[in-house]
A and B are shown apart, each in its own frame.
Chain A
Amino acid sequence: MTMGKVLYYTLVDLARNRSVLAFAALLFVVAEGLFLVEGEAVKAVLSLVQVVLALVPLVALVFTVVYTYGAQEFTQLLAVQPIGRSAILGGRMLALGLSFLVALLFGLGLPLTVHAPGATSLVLLVAAVLLAWVFLALGTLIALVNRDRARGVGTALAAWAGAVLVYDALLMTLLFAFSDRPVEPFVLPVAALNPIDLARIAVTIQVDLAAMMGYSGAVYKKFLGSGPGIATALAFMLLWVAWPTVLSFRVFRSKDL
Protein backbone atom coordinates (compact mmCIF):
# COMPACT_ATOMS: atom_id res chain seq x y z
CA MET A 1 0.00 0.00 0.00
CA THR A 2 2.46 2.64 1.14
CA MET A 3 5.15 1.00 -0.97
CA GLY A 4 2.86 1.45 -3.97
CA LYS A 5 2.69 5.16 -3.23
CA VAL A 6 6.46 5.48 -2.99
CA LEU A 7 6.74 3.51 -6.24
CA TYR A 8 4.23 5.78 -7.97
CA TYR A 9 5.80 9.07 -6.90
CA THR A 10 9.31 7.85 -7.68
CA LEU A 11 8.15 6.87 -11.17
CA VAL A 12 6.66 10.34 -11.61
CA ASP A 13 9.97 11.85 -10.53
CA LEU A 14 11.93 9.57 -12.89
CA ALA A 15 9.65 10.49 -15.78
CA ARG A 16 10.38 14.18 -15.11
CA ASN A 17 14.07 13.44 -14.76
CA ARG A 18 14.40 12.42 -18.46
CA SER A 19 17.78 10.70 -17.97
CA VAL A 20 16.21 7.27 -18.35
CA LEU A 21 14.38 8.49 -21.43
CA ALA A 22 17.67 9.76 -22.86
CA PHE A 23 19.27 6.37 -22.21
CA ALA A 24 16.41 4.60 -24.04
CA ALA A 25 16.76 7.00 -26.98
CA LEU A 26 20.53 6.47 -27.10
CA LEU A 27 20.13 2.69 -27.18
CA PHE A 28 17.46 2.99 -29.84
CA VAL A 29 19.63 5.19 -32.08
CA VAL A 30 22.67 2.94 -31.65
CA ALA A 31 20.64 -0.20 -32.38
CA GLU A 32 18.93 1.27 -35.44
CA GLY A 33 22.27 2.62 -36.64
CA LEU A 34 23.93 -0.79 -36.36
CA PHE A 35 21.13 -2.50 -38.25
CA LEU A 36 21.43 0.19 -40.93
CA VAL A 37 25.21 -0.01 -41.28
CA GLU A 38 25.66 -3.78 -41.04
CA GLY A 39 24.23 -5.58 -44.02
CA GLU A 40 23.40 -8.76 -42.12
CA ALA A 41 21.10 -8.65 -39.10
CA VAL A 42 23.28 -11.24 -37.28
CA LYS A 43 26.35 -9.02 -37.50
CA ALA A 44 24.38 -6.08 -36.18
CA VAL A 45 23.13 -8.15 -33.24
CA LEU A 46 26.68 -9.21 -32.42
CA SER A 47 27.87 -5.61 -32.43
CA LEU A 48 24.89 -4.74 -30.30
CA VAL A 49 25.92 -7.40 -27.75
CA GLN A 50 29.22 -5.57 -27.23
CA VAL A 51 27.44 -2.25 -26.81
CA VAL A 52 24.95 -3.69 -24.32
CA LEU A 53 27.60 -5.46 -22.23
CA ALA A 54 29.60 -2.25 -21.86
CA LEU A 55 26.89 0.38 -21.69
CA VAL A 56 23.99 -1.13 -19.71
CA PRO A 57 25.97 -1.94 -16.53
CA LEU A 58 27.72 1.43 -16.51
CA VAL A 59 24.55 3.48 -17.06
CA ALA A 60 22.47 1.46 -14.58
CA LEU A 61 25.19 1.65 -11.93
CA VAL A 62 26.07 5.33 -12.22
CA PHE A 63 22.45 6.44 -12.57
CA THR A 64 21.35 4.44 -9.53
CA VAL A 65 24.18 5.77 -7.37
CA VAL A 66 23.66 9.39 -8.42
CA TYR A 67 19.88 9.11 -8.04
CA THR A 68 20.14 7.53 -4.59
CA TYR A 69 22.39 10.32 -3.32
CA GLY A 70 20.15 12.94 -4.93
CA ALA A 71 17.10 11.47 -3.21
CA GLN A 72 18.64 11.68 0.28
CA GLU A 73 16.54 14.63 1.47
CA PHE A 74 13.41 13.18 -0.05
CA THR A 75 14.18 9.90 1.70
CA GLN A 76 14.38 11.80 4.99
CA LEU A 77 11.08 13.50 4.29
CA LEU A 78 9.46 10.11 3.66
CA ALA A 79 11.16 8.49 6.64
CA VAL A 80 9.50 10.87 9.13
CA GLN A 81 6.08 9.95 7.75
CA PRO A 82 4.24 6.85 8.92
CA ILE A 83 6.02 4.75 6.30
CA GLY A 84 8.34 1.83 7.02
CA ARG A 85 11.92 1.80 5.81
CA SER A 86 11.34 -1.29 3.66
CA ALA A 87 8.46 0.39 1.83
CA ILE A 88 10.66 3.40 1.05
CA LEU A 89 13.56 1.38 -0.32
CA GLY A 90 11.33 -1.22 -2.00
CA GLY A 91 9.27 1.45 -3.74
CA ARG A 92 12.35 3.23 -5.00
CA MET A 93 14.13 0.10 -6.24
CA LEU A 94 10.99 -1.13 -7.98
CA ALA A 95 10.54 2.24 -9.66
CA LEU A 96 14.14 2.24 -10.90
CA GLY A 97 13.85 -1.39 -12.02
CA LEU A 98 10.64 -0.70 -13.90
CA SER A 99 12.02 2.35 -15.68
CA PHE A 100 15.16 0.44 -16.70
CA LEU A 101 12.92 -2.33 -18.00
CA VAL A 102 10.82 0.08 -20.05
CA ALA A 103 13.93 1.85 -21.37
CA LEU A 104 15.43 -1.47 -22.53
CA LEU A 105 12.17 -2.72 -24.04
CA PHE A 106 11.94 0.46 -26.07
CA GLY A 107 15.60 1.16 -26.85
CA LEU A 108 16.69 -2.43 -27.41
CA GLY A 109 13.60 -4.63 -27.66
CA LEU A 110 11.88 -2.60 -30.34
CA PRO A 111 14.77 -2.57 -32.88
CA LEU A 112 15.54 -6.24 -32.15
CA THR A 113 11.94 -7.31 -32.74
CA VAL A 114 11.72 -5.35 -35.97
CA HIS A 115 15.07 -6.32 -37.51
CA ALA A 116 16.05 -9.64 -35.94
CA PRO A 117 13.14 -11.42 -34.29
CA GLY A 118 14.14 -14.74 -32.73
CA ALA A 119 15.68 -16.56 -29.81
CA THR A 120 19.00 -14.69 -29.92
CA SER A 121 17.33 -11.33 -29.62
CA LEU A 122 15.21 -12.60 -26.76
CA VAL A 123 18.21 -13.91 -24.83
CA LEU A 124 20.05 -10.65 -25.43
CA LEU A 125 17.10 -8.63 -24.17
CA VAL A 126 16.63 -10.79 -21.07
CA ALA A 127 20.36 -10.64 -20.32
CA ALA A 128 20.33 -6.85 -20.77
CA VAL A 129 17.40 -6.42 -18.36
CA LEU A 130 19.04 -8.69 -15.78
CA LEU A 131 22.30 -6.76 -16.16
CA ALA A 132 20.48 -3.49 -15.51
CA TRP A 133 18.87 -4.96 -12.39
CA VAL A 134 22.13 -6.42 -11.10
CA PHE A 135 23.81 -3.04 -11.30
CA LEU A 136 20.76 -1.29 -9.89
CA ALA A 137 21.03 -3.53 -6.83
CA LEU A 138 24.81 -3.07 -6.59
CA GLY A 139 24.50 0.70 -7.06
CA THR A 140 21.89 0.92 -4.32
CA LEU A 141 24.08 -1.02 -1.92
CA ILE A 142 27.15 1.07 -2.73
CA ALA A 143 25.25 4.34 -2.24
CA LEU A 144 23.76 3.16 1.07
CA VAL A 145 27.04 1.96 2.52
CA ASN A 146 29.11 5.03 1.56
CA ARG A 147 27.94 8.20 3.31
CA ASP A 148 30.20 10.31 1.14
CA ARG A 149 28.91 10.88 -2.39
CA ALA A 150 32.31 11.14 -4.10
CA ARG A 151 33.43 7.93 -2.46
CA GLY A 152 30.23 6.19 -3.51
CA VAL A 153 30.60 7.19 -7.15
CA GLY A 154 34.27 6.18 -7.04
CA THR A 155 33.44 2.78 -5.59
CA ALA A 156 30.79 2.27 -8.27
CA LEU A 157 33.21 3.09 -11.09
CA ALA A 158 35.82 0.81 -9.54
CA ALA A 159 33.27 -2.01 -9.37
CA TRP A 160 32.39 -1.52 -13.02
CA ALA A 161 36.05 -1.39 -14.09
CA GLY A 162 36.65 -4.50 -12.03
CA ALA A 163 33.90 -6.41 -13.80
CA VAL A 164 34.93 -5.19 -17.26
CA LEU A 165 38.74 -5.07 -17.14
CA VAL A 166 40.34 -6.52 -14.05
CA TYR A 167 38.23 -9.65 -13.98
CA ASP A 168 39.18 -10.67 -17.54
CA ALA A 169 42.83 -10.11 -16.87
CA LEU A 170 42.58 -12.14 -13.67
CA LEU A 171 40.79 -15.01 -15.37
CA MET A 172 43.36 -15.15 -18.15
CA THR A 173 46.22 -15.13 -15.65
CA LEU A 174 44.60 -17.95 -13.71
CA LEU A 175 44.03 -20.02 -16.82
CA PHE A 176 47.59 -19.43 -17.95
CA ALA A 177 49.09 -20.26 -14.57
CA PHE A 178 47.20 -23.54 -14.30
CA SER A 179 47.31 -24.42 -17.98
CA ASP A 180 48.91 -27.80 -17.32
CA ARG A 181 46.03 -28.90 -15.10
CA PRO A 182 42.34 -29.51 -15.79
CA VAL A 183 40.95 -26.12 -14.84
CA GLU A 184 37.64 -26.45 -16.62
CA PRO A 185 35.55 -27.40 -13.55
CA PHE A 186 36.75 -24.26 -11.78
CA VAL A 187 35.72 -22.02 -14.66
CA LEU A 188 32.03 -22.57 -13.95
CA PRO A 189 32.00 -20.97 -10.49
CA VAL A 190 34.71 -18.43 -11.32
CA ALA A 191 32.72 -17.11 -14.28
CA ALA A 192 29.73 -16.75 -11.98
CA LEU A 193 31.70 -14.13 -10.03
CA ASN A 194 31.19 -11.61 -12.82
CA PRO A 195 27.62 -10.73 -13.87
CA ILE A 196 28.77 -9.10 -17.11
CA ASP A 197 30.59 -12.28 -18.09
CA LEU A 198 27.46 -14.29 -17.28
CA ALA A 199 25.42 -12.11 -19.64
CA ARG A 200 28.05 -12.55 -22.34
CA ILE A 201 28.07 -16.32 -21.84
CA ALA A 202 24.28 -16.59 -22.11
CA VAL A 203 24.10 -14.58 -25.32
CA THR A 204 27.10 -16.12 -27.06
CA ILE A 205 26.00 -19.68 -26.32
CA GLN A 206 22.69 -18.81 -27.96
CA VAL A 207 24.45 -17.28 -30.98
CA ASP A 208 26.73 -20.33 -30.98
CA LEU A 209 29.73 -18.34 -32.08
CA ALA A 210 32.90 -19.91 -30.77
CA ALA A 211 34.96 -16.80 -31.53
CA MET A 212 32.96 -14.69 -29.10
CA MET A 213 32.12 -17.31 -26.55
CA GLY A 214 35.55 -17.18 -24.98
CA TYR A 215 36.93 -19.82 -22.73
CA SER A 216 34.34 -19.54 -19.98
CA GLY A 217 31.46 -19.61 -22.45
CA ALA A 218 32.87 -22.70 -24.14
CA VAL A 219 33.14 -24.45 -20.79
CA TYR A 220 29.57 -23.59 -19.89
CA LYS A 221 28.38 -25.01 -23.18
CA LYS A 222 30.55 -28.11 -23.00
CA PHE A 223 29.57 -29.01 -19.45
CA LEU A 224 25.95 -28.00 -19.42
CA GLY A 225 24.82 -28.03 -23.03
CA SER A 226 23.33 -25.01 -24.81
CA GLY A 227 19.91 -24.63 -23.14
CA PRO A 228 20.94 -25.46 -19.57
CA GLY A 229 24.12 -23.43 -20.06
CA ILE A 230 22.09 -20.33 -20.86
CA ALA A 231 19.63 -21.04 -18.06
CA THR A 232 22.44 -21.51 -15.53
CA ALA A 233 24.13 -18.26 -16.56
CA LEU A 234 20.84 -16.33 -16.26
CA ALA A 235 20.03 -17.98 -12.91
CA PHE A 236 23.44 -16.89 -11.56
CA MET A 237 22.54 -13.37 -12.69
CA LEU A 238 19.34 -13.55 -10.64
CA LEU A 239 21.51 -14.37 -7.63
CA TRP A 240 23.49 -11.23 -8.46
CA VAL A 241 20.26 -9.25 -8.29
CA ALA A 242 19.25 -10.93 -5.06
CA TRP A 243 22.23 -10.62 -2.75
CA PRO A 244 22.88 -6.88 -3.07
CA THR A 245 19.13 -6.28 -2.75
CA VAL A 246 18.86 -8.29 0.46
CA LEU A 247 21.95 -6.56 1.87
CA SER A 248 20.62 -3.13 0.87
CA PHE A 249 17.39 -3.73 2.81
CA ARG A 250 19.34 -4.87 5.82
CA VAL A 251 21.60 -1.80 5.73
CA PHE A 252 18.75 0.65 5.09
CA ARG A 253 16.56 -0.68 7.90
CA SER A 254 19.01 0.44 10.57
CA LYS A 255 20.66 3.31 8.72
CA ASP A 256 20.91 6.74 10.35
CA LEU A 257 19.38 9.25 7.96
Chain B
Amino acid sequence: MDSITFSGVGKRYRKLWALRDVDAAFRPGEVVMVIGPNGSGKTTFIKCLLGLVRPTSGAIHVNGERIGADPAYRHHIGYMPQISQFPPALTIGQLLDMMRDVRGLSPERTDDGLVEDLGLSAQLGKRLGTLSGGTMQKVSAVLAFRSAPGILVMDEPTAGLDPLSARTVLGRAAAVRERGGTVLITSHLMEEVETLADRVAYLQDGTLRFLLPLREILARTGTDRLSAALPLMLADPR
Protein backbone atom coordinates (compact mmCIF):
# COMPACT_ATOMS: atom_id res chain seq x y z
CA MET B 1 0.00 0.00 0.00
CA ASP B 2 1.17 3.55 -0.68
CA SER B 3 2.22 5.38 2.45
CA ILE B 4 1.41 8.84 1.08
CA THR B 5 -0.96 9.83 -1.72
CA PHE B 6 -1.71 13.27 -3.11
CA SER B 7 -4.95 13.40 -5.11
CA GLY B 8 -5.56 16.58 -7.06
CA VAL B 9 -3.89 18.71 -4.40
CA GLY B 10 -3.81 22.45 -5.06
CA LYS B 11 -2.88 25.40 -2.90
CA ARG B 12 -3.68 29.01 -3.64
CA TYR B 13 -2.20 31.97 -1.77
CA ARG B 14 -4.55 34.81 -2.60
CA LYS B 15 -4.33 34.90 -6.40
CA LEU B 16 -1.26 32.73 -6.83
CA TRP B 17 -1.50 28.97 -7.18
CA ALA B 18 1.63 27.67 -5.43
CA LEU B 19 0.60 24.10 -6.12
CA ARG B 20 -1.71 22.92 -8.91
CA ASP B 21 -3.58 19.66 -9.15
CA VAL B 22 -0.78 17.41 -7.91
CA ASP B 23 -1.33 13.65 -8.11
CA ALA B 24 1.41 11.51 -6.60
CA ALA B 25 1.87 8.36 -4.56
CA PHE B 26 4.85 7.40 -2.42
CA ARG B 27 5.66 3.87 -1.26
CA PRO B 28 7.33 2.33 1.76
CA GLY B 29 11.02 1.66 1.30
CA GLU B 30 11.85 4.40 -1.17
CA VAL B 31 13.65 7.71 -1.24
CA VAL B 32 12.01 10.31 -3.46
CA MET B 33 13.92 13.47 -4.28
CA VAL B 34 11.71 16.47 -4.91
CA ILE B 35 13.49 18.95 -7.16
CA GLY B 36 12.57 22.06 -9.07
CA PRO B 37 13.57 25.71 -9.45
CA ASN B 38 13.11 28.24 -6.65
CA GLY B 39 9.46 29.04 -6.08
CA SER B 40 8.32 25.89 -7.86
CA GLY B 41 6.20 24.77 -4.90
CA LYS B 42 8.54 22.30 -3.18
CA THR B 43 8.12 23.78 0.27
CA THR B 44 4.35 24.23 -0.15
CA PHE B 45 4.17 20.57 -1.23
CA ILE B 46 5.93 19.52 1.99
CA LYS B 47 3.93 21.92 4.16
CA CYS B 48 0.66 20.47 2.84
CA LEU B 49 1.78 16.99 3.84
CA LEU B 50 2.73 18.22 7.32
CA GLY B 51 -0.53 20.08 7.86
CA LEU B 52 1.24 23.45 8.16
CA VAL B 53 -0.72 24.58 5.11
CA ARG B 54 -4.28 23.57 4.29
CA PRO B 55 -4.70 22.62 0.61
CA THR B 56 -7.23 24.68 -1.31
CA SER B 57 -8.32 21.59 -3.22
CA GLY B 58 -7.73 17.84 -3.27
CA ALA B 59 -6.90 15.34 -0.57
CA ILE B 60 -3.80 13.85 1.04
CA HIS B 61 -3.79 10.38 2.56
CA VAL B 62 -1.15 9.10 4.96
CA ASN B 63 -1.17 5.34 5.55
CA GLY B 64 -4.67 5.21 4.12
CA GLU B 65 -6.12 7.93 6.34
CA ARG B 66 -7.16 11.26 4.91
CA ILE B 67 -5.36 14.01 6.79
CA GLY B 68 -7.44 16.78 8.29
CA ALA B 69 -8.04 18.20 11.74
CA ASP B 70 -6.86 15.06 13.58
CA PRO B 71 -3.13 15.51 14.28
CA ALA B 72 -2.49 11.83 15.14
CA TYR B 73 -1.02 10.97 11.71
CA ARG B 74 1.98 13.18 12.49
CA HIS B 75 3.17 10.52 14.94
CA HIS B 76 4.45 8.74 11.83
CA ILE B 77 6.29 11.73 10.39
CA GLY B 78 9.72 13.09 11.16
CA TYR B 79 10.40 16.52 9.69
CA MET B 80 13.55 18.51 9.21
CA PRO B 81 12.75 22.05 8.02
CA GLN B 82 14.89 24.18 5.73
CA ILE B 83 15.46 26.82 8.39
CA SER B 84 15.02 26.19 12.09
CA GLN B 85 14.31 28.64 14.86
CA PHE B 86 14.03 27.48 18.42
CA PRO B 87 13.10 29.24 21.67
CA PRO B 88 16.41 31.05 22.30
CA ALA B 89 16.37 30.75 26.09
CA LEU B 90 16.25 26.94 26.12
CA THR B 91 19.34 24.73 25.99
CA ILE B 92 19.66 21.95 23.41
CA GLY B 93 19.06 19.36 26.14
CA GLN B 94 15.93 21.12 27.38
CA LEU B 95 14.55 21.35 23.84
CA LEU B 96 15.15 17.64 23.27
CA ASP B 97 13.39 16.77 26.54
CA MET B 98 10.51 19.09 25.76
CA MET B 99 9.95 17.78 22.24
CA ARG B 100 10.05 14.20 23.47
CA ASP B 101 7.43 15.08 26.07
CA VAL B 102 5.26 16.90 23.53
CA ARG B 103 5.42 13.93 21.15
CA GLY B 104 4.62 11.54 23.97
CA LEU B 105 7.75 9.46 23.38
CA SER B 106 9.24 7.35 26.14
CA PRO B 107 13.03 7.72 26.69
CA GLU B 108 13.54 4.07 25.68
CA ARG B 109 11.80 4.57 22.37
CA THR B 110 13.75 7.72 21.57
CA ASP B 111 16.66 7.21 19.21
CA ASP B 112 19.18 9.92 19.96
CA GLY B 113 22.10 8.22 18.23
CA LEU B 114 22.46 11.26 15.99
CA VAL B 115 23.35 13.44 18.98
CA GLU B 116 26.55 11.44 19.29
CA ASP B 117 27.12 11.04 15.54
CA LEU B 118 26.81 14.78 14.85
CA GLY B 119 29.02 15.72 17.79
CA LEU B 120 26.31 17.42 19.80
CA SER B 121 26.87 15.48 23.04
CA ALA B 122 29.23 18.09 24.48
CA GLN B 123 26.92 20.95 23.52
CA LEU B 124 23.68 19.87 25.19
CA GLY B 125 24.01 22.67 27.79
CA LYS B 126 24.32 25.42 25.16
CA ARG B 127 21.45 27.85 24.73
CA LEU B 128 19.70 27.63 21.37
CA GLY B 129 19.97 31.39 20.87
CA THR B 130 23.77 31.16 20.75
CA LEU B 131 24.03 28.39 18.13
CA SER B 132 25.37 28.75 14.59
CA GLY B 133 23.10 27.96 11.67
CA GLY B 134 24.82 24.65 11.08
CA THR B 135 24.42 23.52 14.67
CA MET B 136 20.73 24.45 14.54
CA GLN B 137 20.40 22.21 11.48
CA LYS B 138 22.00 19.37 13.44
CA VAL B 139 19.49 19.83 16.26
CA SER B 140 16.75 19.83 13.64
CA ALA B 141 18.08 16.56 12.22
CA VAL B 142 18.11 14.93 15.67
CA LEU B 143 14.47 15.96 16.17
CA ALA B 144 13.47 14.52 12.79
CA PHE B 145 15.01 11.08 13.33
CA ARG B 146 14.55 10.36 17.01
CA SER B 147 11.03 8.91 16.90
CA ALA B 148 12.13 6.38 14.23
CA PRO B 149 9.43 7.68 11.89
CA GLY B 150 7.90 5.65 9.07
CA ILE B 151 7.84 8.80 6.97
CA LEU B 152 10.77 11.20 6.86
CA VAL B 153 10.45 14.63 5.28
CA MET B 154 13.50 16.83 4.80
CA ASP B 155 13.57 20.28 3.21
CA GLU B 156 17.09 21.02 1.92
CA PRO B 157 18.62 18.99 4.76
CA THR B 158 22.25 19.49 3.82
CA ALA B 159 22.07 23.23 3.06
CA GLY B 160 23.76 24.46 6.23
CA LEU B 161 25.69 21.34 7.18
CA ASP B 162 29.39 20.58 6.80
CA PRO B 163 30.06 17.75 4.30
CA LEU B 164 30.74 15.14 6.97
CA SER B 165 27.56 15.88 8.91
CA ALA B 166 25.60 16.00 5.66
CA ARG B 167 26.82 12.49 4.87
CA THR B 168 25.87 11.27 8.34
CA VAL B 169 22.35 12.66 7.95
CA LEU B 170 21.85 11.26 4.46
CA GLY B 171 23.18 7.91 5.64
CA ARG B 172 20.53 7.92 8.32
CA ALA B 173 17.90 8.73 5.72
CA ALA B 174 19.04 5.74 3.68
CA ALA B 175 18.70 3.60 6.80
CA VAL B 176 15.10 4.72 7.17
CA ARG B 177 14.50 3.44 3.64
CA GLU B 178 16.20 0.12 4.41
CA ARG B 179 13.78 -0.55 7.22
CA GLY B 180 10.79 0.19 5.03
CA GLY B 181 10.24 3.90 5.58
CA THR B 182 9.26 6.51 3.00
CA VAL B 183 11.74 9.37 2.63
CA LEU B 184 10.97 12.66 0.85
CA ILE B 185 13.86 15.07 0.38
CA THR B 186 13.99 18.39 -1.46
CA SER B 187 17.38 19.30 -2.76
CA HIS B 188 19.27 21.51 -5.17
CA LEU B 189 22.35 19.33 -5.32
CA MET B 190 22.23 16.92 -8.24
CA GLU B 191 25.04 14.66 -6.95
CA GLU B 192 23.15 14.27 -3.70
CA VAL B 193 20.00 13.38 -5.58
CA GLU B 194 21.81 10.86 -7.73
CA THR B 195 23.43 8.98 -4.88
CA LEU B 196 20.26 8.56 -2.87
CA ALA B 197 17.15 8.83 -5.02
CA ASP B 198 15.01 5.90 -6.06
CA ARG B 199 12.60 8.24 -7.78
CA VAL B 200 12.73 11.88 -8.75
CA ALA B 201 9.79 14.29 -8.63
CA TYR B 202 10.13 17.48 -10.65
CA LEU B 203 7.99 20.47 -9.74
CA GLN B 204 7.69 23.57 -11.89
CA ASP B 205 5.35 26.52 -11.30
CA GLY B 206 3.42 24.40 -8.82
CA THR B 207 2.82 21.59 -11.29
CA LEU B 208 4.30 18.11 -10.98
CA ARG B 209 6.07 17.69 -14.35
CA PHE B 210 7.13 14.11 -13.70
CA LEU B 211 7.65 11.52 -10.97
CA LEU B 212 9.84 8.73 -12.30
CA PRO B 213 12.50 6.26 -11.20
CA LEU B 214 15.96 7.79 -11.55
CA ARG B 215 17.10 4.80 -13.60
CA GLU B 216 14.25 5.26 -16.05
CA ILE B 217 15.02 8.95 -16.46
CA LEU B 218 18.63 8.17 -17.30
CA ALA B 219 17.72 5.30 -19.63
CA ARG B 220 15.06 7.28 -21.44
CA THR B 221 17.37 10.22 -22.12
CA GLY B 222 20.42 8.10 -22.80
CA THR B 223 22.53 10.03 -20.30
CA ASP B 224 24.37 9.01 -17.16
CA ARG B 225 23.85 12.20 -15.20
CA LEU B 226 20.64 13.75 -13.94
CA SER B 227 21.92 17.26 -14.71
CA ALA B 228 22.23 16.23 -18.37
CA ALA B 229 18.95 14.34 -18.38
CA LEU B 230 16.80 17.14 -16.92
CA PRO B 231 16.76 19.48 -19.95
CA LEU B 232 15.89 16.55 -22.22
CA MET B 233 13.14 15.40 -19.87
CA LEU B 234 11.63 18.87 -19.68
CA ALA B 235 11.64 19.19 -23.43
CA ASP B 236 9.67 15.92 -23.68
CA PRO B 237 8.47 14.55 -20.35
CA ARG B 238 6.28 11.85 -21.90
Interface residues of A (CB under 8 A from B): 2, 5-6, 9, 13, 16-17, 72-74, 76-85, 253-254, 256-257
The complex places the Cα of A82 from the Cα of B77 at a distance, in Å, of 9
Q: Assess the B102–A256 pair: CB atoms within 8 A.
A: no
B52 CB–A CB distance under 8 Å: yes
The chain A residue with its CB closest to the CB of B18 is A256
Partner of A256, one of B13, B70, B99: B13
Q: Assess the B54–A82 pair: CB atoms within 8 A.
A: no
Additional 13 contacts, C-beta under 8 A, given A253-B69, A257-B52? A2-B102, A5-B101, A5-B102, A16-B89, A72-B85, A73-B86, A79-B50, A80-B51, A80-B81, A81-B102, A82-B75, A82-B103, A84-B71
Q: Considering residues B77, B86, B87, which has the most beta carbons from chain A within 10 angstroms of its beta carbon?
A: B87
Q: Considering residues A80, A82, A85, which has the most beta carbons from chain B within 10 angstroms of its beta carbon?
A: A80
The complex places the Cα of A17 from the Cα of B87 at a distance, in Å, of 11
B104 CB–A CB distance under 8 Å: yes
B84 CB–A CB distance under 8 Å: yes
Instruction: Jot down 27 A-B pairs with beta carbons below 8 A, ordered by A.
Output: A5-B101, A5-B102, A9-B102, A13-B89, A13-B90, A72-B85, A73-B84, A77-B86, A80-B50, A80-B77, A80-B81, A81-B99, A81-B102, A81-B103, A82-B71, A82-B74, A82-B75, A82-B103, A83-B74, A84-B69, A85-B69, A85-B71, A254-B54, A256-B13, A256-B47, A256-B53, A257-B53
Q: Considering residues B13, B47, B51, B102, which has the most beta carbons from chain A within 10 angstroms of its beta carbon?
A: B102
CB-CB under 8 A from B89, the residues of chain A are: 13, 16-17
B98 CB–A CB distance under 8 Å: yes
The complex places the Cα of A85 from the Cα of B70 at a distance, in Å, of 9
Instruction: State the Cβ distance, A226 to closest chain B Cβ, in Å.
Output: 47
Instruction: State the Cβ distance, B183 to closest chain A Cβ, in Å.
Output: 16
The complex places the Cα of A69 from the Cα of B69 at a distance, in Å, of 23
Instruction: State the Cβ distance, B154 to closest chain A Cβ, in Å.
Output: 12
CB-CB under 8 A from A83, the residues of chain B are: 71, 74, 102
CB-CB under 8 A from B85, the residues of chain A are: 72-74, 77
Instruction: State the Cβ distance, A21 to closest chain B Cβ, in Å.
Output: 14
Q: A13-B89, A17-B89 are in contact. Are A81 and B84 (CB under 8 A)?
A: no
Instruction: State the Cβ distance, B124 to closest chain A Cβ, in Å.
Output: 17
The complex places the Cα of A9 from the Cα of B99 at a distance, in Å, of 10
B72 CB–A CB distance under 8 Å: yes
Q: A73-B84, A73-B86, A74-B87 are in contact. Are A9 and B98 (CB under 8 A)?
A: yes
Q: C-beta contact mask, B64-98 vs A, less than 8 Å → 1, else 0?
A: 00000111111101010100111101100000001
The complex places the Cα of A38 from the Cα of B53 at a distance, in Å, of 57
The complex places the Cα of A77 from the Cα of B89 at a distance, in Å, of 16
CB-CB under 8 A from A72, the residues of chain B are: 85
The complex places the Cα of A74 from the Cα of B88 at a distance, in Å, of 10
Instruction: State the Cβ distance, A7 to closest chain B Cβ, in Å.
Output: 12
Q: Assess the B52–A80 pair: CB atoms within 8 A.
A: yes
CB-CB under 8 A from A17, the residues of chain B are: 89
Q: Assess the A79–B54 pair: CB atoms within 8 A.
A: no
Partner of B87, one of A5, A13, A81: A13
Q: Assess the B74–A81 pair: CB atoms within 8 A.
A: yes
The complex places the Cα of A74 from the Cα of B102 at a distance, in Å, of 13
